[in-house]
Amino acid sequence: MQVRSTQHEVQSTSYREHRTIQYVRILFLLCTLYFVLGTASDAHAMHITEGILPLAWAGFWFLAAAPFVAFGLYRLKKLSADDLSFKPLVGLMAAVVFIISCMPIPVPTAGTCSHPAGTGISGILLGPAVSVLVASVALLIQALFLSHGGLSTLGANIISMGVMGSCAGYVTFRGLRLLRINMTIAGFTAGLFADWATYLTTSAELAAGIRGDSPFLPLFAKVIIAFIPTQLPLGILEGAMTAGMVVLLHKKRPDLLVKMGVV
Amino acid sequence: MRGQKSDERGQIVEVRYVIIVVFVCLLSSIFYSLSAMAAEKWQGVDESVVQKIAMEHGREAHAPLINTDQGDMLLFVFLLAGAVGGFAAGYYWRMLTERRSGDSGQPAADAGKGRH
């Protein structure tokens, strides 16, 4: 009787996995169709540009970001002293975040370009503290050499992409996994929320910094609405990328994910 | 048995939710993008959203400290950044996943574990 029920459990689990894979394939197909069916022509991307925020706000965001970066450094030292295999994972994630966050992607339905953040995946795999550090390094290099973001707005960009993106990705993934949600769906949702959290925070930073005497909320809403046509679909793409990377790493190095407490 | 069935139903509902969300997102992005289509095409959101709204409130972007946005210089630095980033990602990916010949199936990254 017990053997039968175990067999049934195994069958139903593989059936569920098969069905989930089919749904994920449909999801990828929809995303691909969405990007292919649009029209195409020159590209650029995002982060708050140099000089946009007043000095007081720029300083405030630097002060707000500093403890997170310092804690990230401390965690990196501690974790890499405990386990040598942590360093290559940090190197991989640093490269991934850097590439993803300076990769302008045209969004056909909006007619604009933007980029995913990549901090959802690094938040899941490295933990939010080290992910903030990785994002800070990527943002610094981009501000210095790629005319992408700015040095005066670095603190604000660290808070939005590094802190909020990483925390949203980490908390969403862990929360969904605690609820025993499938890893692919948890990864997808984490990537989606990390992207949207980043742009929600950017909207708040921008509205707070430039509003002058105008009320905060209407301007905040205006910025969010202006971001929606681009970031809504881009968040879906980031979700798909995050899910794909978590699943791939789980296939290749399940032990690493167990060690990092991801699964 | 009942628990399993309800679990399966839950999974189906979950995945359906994802697909519905995707459809709603796509439809709403098309709806909201009608005004954006009239503007200059393929601008980054830094120009089309951040700088545009900031300018309406009297804030203008400054030139970056090291201004690489001149002629084809930006293309070059982006290409260089992509190449270096891609190389680093590939290098660390191999380090994490490649198994050394003669090793007990341990990936290269774990081979030096414990050696401080």
Q: Residue B58 in 3-state DSSP?
A: coil
What digits encode the pLDDT tens for the residues A84-128?
A: 878 999 999 999 999 999 888 888 878 888 899 999 999 999 999
pTM comes to 0.75
Of B28, B45, B57, the CB nearest to A210: B57
* The pLDDT value given to residue A120: 95
Residue A259 predicted with pLDDT over 60: yes
Phi (first) and psi of residue B81, to 5 degrees:
-60, -45
Most B CBs within 10 A among A145, A236, A245, A250, hence the mutation to make, goes to A145
- Asked if B69 lies within 8 A of A206 by C-beta distance, the reply is no
Q: Name which residue leads in pLDDT, B49 or A189.
A: A189
Distance of residue B83 Cα from the nearest chain A Cα, in angstroms: 9
Q: Name which residue leads in pLDDT, B28 or B77.
A: B77
Burial of B16 (0-12, 13-18, 19+ CB in 10 A): exposed
Spell out the residues 6+ positions from residue A144 whose beta carbon is closer than 8 angstroms to its own: A151, B65, B66
The whole-angstrom separation of Cα A232 and Cα A112 is 12
- Asked if A111 lies within 8 A of B42 by C-beta distance, the reply is yes
The structure tokens 């450094």 sit at: A73
Contacts of B89 in chain A (CB under 8 A): 92, 95-96, 99
- Mean pLDDT for A195-223 is 93
The whole-angstrom separation of Cα A60 and Cα A17 is 48
Q: Of A54-58, A148-152, A210-214, B15-19, which range is least confident?
A: B15-19
CB atoms closer than 10 angstroms to residue A227:
26
Of A16, A53, A81, the CB nearest to B8: A16
Spell out the residues 6+ positions from residue A172 whose beta carbon is closer than 8 angstroms to its own: A186, A189, A190, A193, A194
Q: How many CA atoms lie within 13 Å of A149's alpha carbon, on the beta-carbon side?
A: 29
Contacts of B54 in chain A (CB under 8 A): 52, 206, 210
CB contact at 8 A, A88 and A72: no
Q: Which residue of A has its CA nearest to B116?
A: A81
CB contact at 8 A, A108 and B42: no
Q: Which residue of A has its CA nearest to B35?
A: A110
Give the domain ranges of chain A: 1-38, 51-259
Most confident of A32-36, A78-82, A138-142: A138-142
* The amino acid at B15: V
Most A CBs within 10 A among B16, B47, B50, hence the mutation to make, goes to B50
Residue A13 predicted with pLDDT over 80: no
Burial of B72 (0-12, 13-18, 19+ CB in 10 A): exposed
* The pLDDT value given to residue A78: 93
- Mean pLDDT for A146-160 is 93
| A-B Cβ pairs (cutoff 8 Å, strict) | 235
Least Cα distance to A189 among B6, B37, B18 occurs for B18
CB contact at 8 A, A118 and A245: no
Give the whole-number percent of chain B exceeding pLDDT 90: 17
* The pLDDT value given to residue B113: 46
The whole-angstrom separation of Cα B2 and Cα A165 is 39
- Asked if B33 lies within 8 A of A206 by C-beta distance, the reply is no
Q: Residue A112 in 3-state DSSP?
A: strand
- Asked if A146 lies within 8 A of B115 by C-beta distance, the reply is no
Burial of A137 (0-12, 13-18, 19+ CB in 10 A): middle
CB atoms closer than 10 angstroms to residue A31:
18
Length of chain A: 263
pLDDT band (50, 70, 90) for residue A168:
very high
Radius of gyration of chain B (CA): 25
Interface predicted TM-score (ipTM):
0.75
Residue B20 predicted with pLDDT over 80: no
The whole-angstrom separation of Cα A79 and Cα A167 is 18
The whole-angstrom separation of Cα A65 and Cα A226 is 26
CB contact at 8 A, A130 and A71: no
Give the domain ranges of chain B: 1-40, 65-110
The whole-angstrom separation of Cα A111 and Cα B38 is 9
Architecture field, domain A51-259: Orthogonal Bundle (1.10)
